[in-house]
Amino acid sequence: MTKILIPSGALGLGYDRDALARGIAEGPDLIAIDGGSTDSGPHYLGTGTSKYSRSSVKAEWRELMEARARAGVPLVIGTAGTCGADSAVDWMLDITRELAAELGQTLKIATVKSGQGGAAMAEAFAAGRITPLEAAPKISADVLSACTNIVALAGVEQINAALDTGADIVIAGRTTDTAIIAALPIARGAHPGGAWHGAKIGECGALATTSPNSGTILIEFDDAGFTITPMGAEARATPYTVSAHMLYENANPHVLFEPGGHLDVTEASYEALDDRRVRVTGSQWLPSERYTVKLEGARSGGFQTVSLALVRDARYVENIRAWVADIEAQCTEKARTRVNADFSLELRLIGVDATLGPLETSTLSAGEVGVMGIVTAEREDVSREVAKILNPYLLHHPLTEQEEMPTFAFPFSPPEMACGEIFEFCLNHVLELEDPLSAFRIETLEVGP
Amino acid sequence: MTTLADVVTKVRSKNAGPFWLTFDIFCAGEAEFGEICAALNTERVAAALQVSSTQLKRFEISDLNVLKFSLPRPQIQGTRHDRDMHGASFANILAELEI
């Protein structure tokens, strides 16, 4: 029996402190928490930085480090710093070092780095070791070389290698959401289908229960399956909440691909042990012939500057599409003569179809429309320049020549806001490995007062 | 007019990674699940999402009374053409379909 305590779906999201204390009292074998996801967008992988604030991460990590010390078991974070790039692992290590000094804890830390070099990846691509998954964008050696960060998603082999060093804390770069939970149970001989399935159910903390915000859950893994117990006082796991979690953020509700194989839950059965605990058996783990890890990569998408104007005049609101079409055409033409570089200009109608664009079906009309100008260019100065050329149009453009010059509302000064460099995800591929550890780097160090 | 949202428990959409979008339609019971599966044929959902029906994966999960659709994201998450980073607003398109 291996007990894994999961304090929350992600470090930085917060959780119920009492639930964590109850979890520690249950005597877990390991505390596992996820630090990231691609869900927040490509900026974080592109820049190798964290979405959550350093102070929030530090405050919550402090509590987990204290809980770890009380429990005397390893604490593992996967996908450190939102994206799991090497720089994000270093960022997390820096926070851990600071806290170890503040808390007076002497600790052995293992880091697992998942970053991949662009040139090495271009070589692997040429050798046919990088293959696309469904709906993958087209890639080339140039695309791989242009990525600011490429990470490979570690599985249980790499996490177990880090745990084998005897580390008190493992700070892992990009891992699959499940690997940090499944690793120890698998190393101790738990049912592999049960281990991966329980890990999938646990990866979002209490999301698979009736009280998602309570955060903390305990999963017990054994040689036939797993049992989930929520730690929140009011939280309940039911066969429905647990089985429904396989749907969440998952294109296929029955199958989950992981490094080294896939999980199939088609035959899983869910049994309520009482009104708050659920036991699951019958999940299957099917090892693959080749060991592959998924890759994520982000490259620059140019530089962006945005501007926001508000249109309240009823006649302009009524004719807003004609108004922005005219501005787009005129401003694009003028900017082409004034900046000698490529750019794109889009005016998005907030309150009309800004969310769904061409898929919008609603015909409701509001009394005002926000007009968001978005300028994207390969160079930052070009993007700002075109946004400044756009400004007089958003300020004074008339619907017809034969009318007094209108003036529209601006909520900000300056009206242009630089978004800086933007990034785009460009890999939905897997990398074949001879040895699971060959694409990852594990290092150990001592920290403390 | 009765919409899908009026007759089911919940309609949600979300990213399934940066390249996929997934929709979960939760029905309260078996009878309702059967009706919704019949009413929402794949062609109709594909038309509402403006994709070809061959791009749409359909899962009828009778244990949960959930009808699920997955498709490649209309725009890769976070590109400059993407309007919804988390993909949660797409649910409205199906929720507002007339049943």
3-state SS string for A189-214: CCCHHHHHHHHHHHCCHHHHCCCHHH
Residue A356 is nearest to which of B63, B66, B83, comparing CB atoms?
B83
- Cα–Cα distance measured from residue B35 to residue B27, given in angstroms and rounded to the nearest whole number: 10
Helices (H) and strands (E) in chain B, counts: 4, 4
A250: closest CA of chain B, how far (Å): 5
Q: What is the pLDDT of residues A388-420, one digit of tens each?
A: 999 999 999 999 999 999 999 999 999 999 999
Q: Which residue is associated with the tokens 């919008």?
A: A360
A255 and chain B in contact, CB less than 8 A = no
Q: Among residues B81, B86, B65, which one has the least CA distance to residue B22? A: B86
Record: contact A356-B76, CB cut-off 8 A:
no
Mean pLDDT of A423-428: 97
Q: Contact, A95 vs A58, CB < 8 A?
A: yes
- Cα–Cα distance measured from residue B23 to residue B36, given in angstroms and rounded to the nearest whole number: 14
Contacts of B63 in chain A (CB under 8 A): 243
Q: Contact, A182 vs A196, CB < 8 A?
A: yes
Residue A244 is nearest to which of B15, B16, B64, comparing CB atoms?
B64
Q: What is the pLDDT of residues A159-203, one digit of tens each?
A: 999 999 999 999 999 999 999 999 999 999 999 999 999 999 999
pLDDT attached to residue A14:
86
A422 and chain B in contact, CB less than 8 A = yes
| Closest CA in chain B for residue A349 | B83
Residue A378 DSSP class? S
What phi and psi values does residue A415 have, to the nearest 5 degrees?
A: -75, -20
pLDDT attached to residue A55:
96
Report CA-CA distances (Å) from A222 to A3, A68, A226, A284, A399.
Answer: 9, 23, 6, 14, 71
Q: Among residues A152, A250, A134, A232, which one has the least CA distance to residue A196? A: A250
Choosing among B20, B54, B98, which should be mutated to test the A contact, i.e. which has the most A CBs within 10 A? B20
pTM here is 0.96
Its ipTM equals: 0.94
Record: contact A251-B17, CB cut-off 8 A:
yes
Question: Which tokens belong to A306?
Answer: 């945005």
**Three-state SS string across A279-328, please?**
EEECCEEEECCCEEEEEEEEEEEEEEEEEEEEECCHHHHHCHHHHHHHHH
Q: Contact, A173 vs A114, CB < 8 A?
A: yes
Residue A278: helix, strand or coil by DSSP? Answer: strand
Residue A251 is nearest to which of B22, B74, B96, comparing CB atoms?
B22
Q: What is the pLDDT of residues A99-128, one digit of tens each?
A: 999 999 999 999 999 999 999 999 999 999
A376 and chain B in contact, CB less than 8 A = yes
Angle between helices A54-71 and A17-25 (to 10 degrees): 20
Q: What is the pLDDT of residues A350-395, one digit of tens each?
A: 999 999 999 999 888 889 999 999 999 999 999 999 999 999 999 9
Q: Contact, B26 vs B16, CB < 8 A?
A: no
Q: Contact, A174 vs A114, CB < 8 A?
A: yes
B80 and chain A in contact, CB less than 8 A = yes
Q: What is the pLDDT of residues B27-64, one digit of tens each?
A: 999 999 999 999 999 999 999 999 999 999 999 999 99
Segments in A6-140 forming alpha helices (H) = 17-25, 43-47, 54-71, 86-103, 118-126
pLDDT attached to residue A158:
98
A22, pLDDT greater than 90: yes
A314, pLDDT greater than 90: yes
Question: Which tokens belong to A409?
Answer: 């509302």
Cα angle A65, A296, B24; round to 5: 85
A392 contact partners, CB below 8 Å, separation of at least 6 = none
